[in-house]
Amino acid sequence: MRAAELRPRSDDIIVGIDLAAREHQAVIVGADGRRLTRFRVPHSRDGIAELLRRSRAKSWQATGRVLAFEATGHVWQALAAILEERGERYVVVNPLAVFRLREARRMDRTKTDLTDAEQIAELARTGMVTSTRPLHGPYLALRRSWGEYVRVRFEAARLKSLLRQQLFGLFPELLEVWSRVDKAARSVAPDERLEAAALEARRIVARYDLLEAQLAEVQGEVEALLGEIEEARWLATIPGLGFASVAGIIAHTGPIGRYRHGRQLVKLAGTNPTRNETGERTGGYQAMSHRGRAGLRQVAYMATISCLAHNVRLRAHYDRLVSRPERPLAKMTALGACMNKLLLWAFAVMSKRRAFELDHEWKECAA
């Protein structure tokens, strides 16, 4: 959706909504920014029906309305689903933009539900919104399953670290006498705490085994969902991308048809370089923006590390960046550039429905 399509018309009213778990604060403003009314509604289907009834365009001598709210938690997804069912126009506001606008307009740092709803309405009125839309079908299921997969994998890794710590407490000499466990009879570990530590270690192992079984189950669900998504088969043709990389990229990006250019994936990941110039100081180091999805950024980082070992095309690009005679990049900076290159490749193979070609020759641009 383009920026012009997100901006309200001159004869629309804007309904700014500050979402909460139980009750939402709504503010209706006109196209000129004047507040018309305010009210609260509960977070339920009846409450949303009341919101739509009290914000009817005809009641305010307008021809249309646009509802605006922040993408906070899971509440916005429930509201967006109901609005889509009813064919309502809505836009999503970045919470960071609301915070910055409130700080600029409220120097006393006052924060209330009413002020937040007013800032949301103002951002929607000026068109400073995003075209975010909820996922559906296998894409939604994949995002949820991938999130669970990451959490279970992290918890299993934490338990492994905890078990390692307990084993060192039980038997500090374990790594030195691995084949002679009878040496435990002369261990330096204190005897009085061994029994309790051993019981705790057994329970840690039991929890770890449970997590391993759950991880295998979730991985099977993710693999089944990838089989339903056409982009997955093309993304997997990039050398160096495995199950986790393919699943993570698609889970965070959603349908590739929502994007017009690969640079949008780079911006979504927050790996796009940013410029910081002021006065006579220009140019210099351009760091990543880190404004996008941290999860996608992590997946892109791990995928790039794998591709540098298994993808000769990306490895050649990395070597060229760090060894070029003019302005060679530092290793981590070159790695960030390779992350962006990989995301551009991912967009290309998924959008064009073509397998990755190592010997692909790029067309020369016309002079």
Is the domain of 161 the same as that of 222?
Answer: yes
Within a domain: 210? yes
Is the domain of 254 the same as that of 301?
Answer: yes
Within a domain: 366? no
Is the domain of 42 the same as that of 111?
Answer: yes
SS3 string, the chain, reads: CCHHHHCCCCCEEEEEEECCCCEEEEEEECCCCCEEEEEEEECCHHHHHHHHHHCCHHHHCCCEEEEEEECCCCHHHHHHHHHHHCCCCEEEECHHHHHHHHHHHCCCCCCCHHHHHHHHHHHHHCCCCECCCCCCHHHHHHHHHHHHHHHHHHHHHHHHHHHHHHHHHHCCCCCCCCCCHHHHHHCCCCHHHHHHHHHHHHHHHHHHHHHHHHHHHHHHHHHHHHHHCHHHHHHCCCCCCCHHHHHHHHHHHCCHHHCCCHHHHHHHHCCCECCCCECCECCCCCCECCCCCHHHHHHHHHHHHHHHHHCHHHHHHHHHHHHCCCCCCCHHHHHHHHHHHHHHHHHHHHHHCCCCCCCCCCCCCCC
Q: What is the pTM of this model?
A: 0.85
Is the domain of 222 the same as that of 314?
Answer: no
Examine the fold and report which residue of 95, 125, 155 is the final residue of a domain before the chain moves on. 125
Within a domain: 367? no
Within a domain: 23? yes
Within a domain: 55? yes
Is the domain of 8 the same as that of 121?
Answer: yes
Is the domain of 219 the same as that of 241?
Answer: no
* Host domain of residue 141: 137-228
Is the domain of 8 the same as that of 34?
Answer: yes
Within a domain: 72? yes
Domain count, the chain: 3
pLDDT of residue 366: 47
Is the domain of 15 the same as that of 76?
Answer: yes
Residue 16 sits in a domain whose CATH number is 3.30.420.40
Residue-level pLDDT, tens digit, the chain, 367 residues: 455 556 788 889 999 999 999 999 999 999 888 999 999 999 999 999 999 999 999 999 999 999 999 988 789 999 999 999 999 999 999 888 888 888 888 777 788 999 999 999 999 998 888 878 888 999 999 999 999 999 999 999 999 999 888 877 776 766 666 566 666 666 555 666 677 878 888 999 999 999 999 999 999 999 999 999 999 999 999 999 999 999 999 999 999 999 999 999 999 999 998 887 777 767 666 788 888 899 999 999 999 999 999 999 999 999 999 999 998 999 999 999 999 999 999 999 999 999 998 876 656 544 3
Is the domain of 242 the same as that of 166?
Answer: no
Within a domain: 115? yes
Is the domain of 184 the same as that of 255?
Answer: no
